[in-house]
Copies of this chain bind each other. A is one copy, B any other.
Amino acid sequence: MFDRLRSHVMARIELTEEQFAESTRFFIPRHLRRKEFLLRAGDTGRYIAFVNRGCLRSYTIDKKGVEHVVQFAIEEWWIADLYSFLTDEPATYYIDALEDSEVLLLDRPSQEELCATLPAYERFFRLLLERNYIANHRRIAATLSLTAEERYLFFMKTYPQFVERLPQHQIASYLGITPESLSRIRRKLMQKS
């Protein structure tokens, strides 16, 4: 159950086996079927989720009813509506499972207690946020400076594991284009090579 989390955490911070074992009591395992929601906009989403198996996404729905994928998460990734997690305000994102999945949930009080009990976890979450900060700024820069085709190539290069695993229209949504446009981009790239 906690094998993947153990290797993930212990690769990043100094922790004994005993300390890690102690930390597992803070995590709540949960199974999600494909299309099942972990969180809906409006809920108070007081946990962050570590993906043990499967694939999830967070997204918004605009006023026309169109979904816009903000993030994907597969094995060893974390996903959350961090704003809601940190402030207890209602969530602004939806999070659901794109495949049957297993997640480990950590709620806010548990995270506080975990960091207080094992300060190395404070460092762990800082490192996690640093990586995220970098990835988000790259995505912003890509959106500002690249065409749809270039963004797709960038996505393929950066997240090859996602390209084989996700439906195309989900990737299109993440890239900020329509499924039709992505289909045409792919055709064009096929012809080139």
Interface positions, chain A 103-149, Cβ under 8 Å from B, are: 119, 122-123, 125-126, 129-130, 132-134, 136-141, 143-146
B141 and A68 form a contact (CB under 8 A): yes
Q: How distant is the Cα of A122 from the Cα of B129 in the complex, in angstroms?
A: 12
Q: How distant is the Cα of A132 from the Cα of B93 in the complex, in angstroms?
A: 17
B86 and A145 form a contact (CB under 8 A): no
Residue of chain B at shortest CB distance from A125: B126
Report if A70-B144 is in contact (Cβ < 8 Å); known contacts: A122-B126, A123-B122, A126-B126: yes
CB of A9 within 8 Å of the partner chain: no
A137 and B82 form a contact (CB under 8 A): yes
B141 and A140 form a contact (CB under 8 A): no
Question: Which residues of A approach B to under 8 Å, CB–CB?
Answer: 60, 62, 66, 68-71, 82-83, 86, 92-93, 119, 122-123, 125-126, 129-130, 132-134, 136-141, 143-146, 173, 176
